[in-house]
Homo-oligomer: A and B are copies of this chain.
Amino acid sequence: LVNEATANRIIKVAERLGYRPNAVARGLKTRRSGSIGVLVPDLLNPVIPPIVRGIEGRLAEAGYNVLLCNADHSEARERIHLEAIRSHQIEGLITANVHHDASPIDPILASGRPVVLVNRVAGEGTLSAAYPDDELCSELAVGHLAELGHRRIAHVAGPGDTSTGVGRLRGFRRALRVHGLKSADSAVIVSKRYTEDEGKRCCSQLIARGTEFTAVYAANDLLAVGCYDALNDVGLGCPSDVSVVGCNDMPFTDRFSPPLTTVNIAHGRLGAAAAELMLEALADPDAQPRQIVIEPTLVVRGSTALARSARISDAGPACR
């Protein structure tokens, strides 16, 4: 190079002046912007922050940064966001958002940039995805309930346009068979959204319908606490009259009244896995899509108890 001392002086001056290579200019030349878009339905849903944190952590290690898009459950907002980050030349997209068939992500796919799904599956293996073993979630929940002697188990299913909703419902039905319980004795109601209000509405409807059950498995903790409210409204105790199991193990469920028995999903790992998948796709654009499934675990707390029929001096379902 030039004179050694001069070089050093220049470097020092550059540093003092706060020089940073301009990643935008580099990106223009190399077509590598160094940013990944992360699209989420709703930052306020307790499962989302740990996922985003997992993604961000892994991506940052690899020198990428994340352009965050909160779609707020609006397809219009989703479209606008996606167009915006597309024009910002994101190198890939990680989304927790797929619920439509005609998807706003199509232009991204068409542009040849990798897309990975997180907490969702779709496209029959044509898309990389990191998601929980939804059927196993249900198996864990139903197995626990069956062990406690419950034979009439209701299910408040997740929305039909989410893979978690349909996967857990499928798992619920299978688990019933596995444990020798008749589907006919149980009841399923499909919620429209993963919210407390919907959980309450669904559970109330189950009760109003005259369904007999001593336990209810909800596809999500938010739905489960909504069930608490519905039960409470009609004077039914949890777990004394009916047991409730949720899914996700979101923060603070251990402090609820009663503490919620639920299925833990490691959302942070889900996010990190999705980031890993993205990194792989970026490193080798011709690689096959790959799926990573995360194993859930049962966490037993206070919202489940022996079924009435399994207790000494008491029998029959709690409802009707």
Interface residues of A (CB under 8 A from B): 18, 20-25, 27-28, 33-35, 38, 43-44, 46, 48-50, 52-53, 56-57, 60, 63, 65-70, 72, 77, 80-81, 83-89, 107, 110-111, 225, 228, 251-252, 255-257
Q: Measured between alpha carbons, how far is A25 from B33 in the docked complex, in Å?
A: 11
Residues from chain B with Cβ under 8 Å of A44 in the complex: 49-50, 53, 251
Contact, CB under 8 Å: B256 / A22: no
**A27 contact set on B, CB distance < 8 A:** 24
Most chain-B CB neighbours within 10 Å: which of A27, A34, A72? Answer: A27
Q: Are B81 and A68 in contact, CB atoms less than 8 angstroms apart?
A: no
Copies in the complex: 2
Tell me the bound Cα distance from A221 to B275 in angstroms. 32
Please indicate which of the listed interface residues A27, A83, A87 has the most CB atoms of chain B within 10 Å of its own CB.
Answer: A87
Nearest B residue to A72 by beta-carbon distance?
Answer: B57
CB closest residue in chain B, given A38: B68
- A63 x B84 contact (CB < 8 A): yes
Candidates B24, B63, B110; contact of A33 at CB < 8 Å: B24
Given pairs A56-B68, A65-B68, 17 additional interface contacts (CB within 8 A): A22-B28, A23-B84, A23-B88, A34-B88, A35-B67, A38-B68, A52-B68, A56-B69, A57-B70, A60-B77, A60-B81, A60-B84, A65-B81, A252-B256, A255-B255, A256-B256, A257-B257
A53 touches B43 (CB 8 A): yes
Sample of 7 A–B contacts (CB below 8 Å): A22-B89, A25-B28, A43-B52, A60-B77, A65-B67, A255-B257, A256-B256
Which residues of B are found within 8 Å of A252, using beta-carbon distances?
225, 252, 256
Kindly report which residue of chain B lies nearest to residue A229, judged by CB atoms: B255
**Is B83 a contact partner of A20 (Cβ separation < 8 A)?**
yes
Question: Measured between C-beta atoms, what is the minimum distance from A47 to chain B in Å?
Answer: 11
CB < 8 Å: which of B28, B34, B77 contacts A28? B28
Most central of A24, A50, A89 by chain B CB within 10 Å: A24
A46-B111 Cα distance, complex, nearest whole Å:
36
With a CB–CB cut-off of 8 A, which chain B residues contact A52? 43, 68, 70
With A251-B46, A257-B257 in contact, is A22–B65 under 8 Å at CB? Answer: no
Closest residue to A51 on the B side, CB-wise? B43
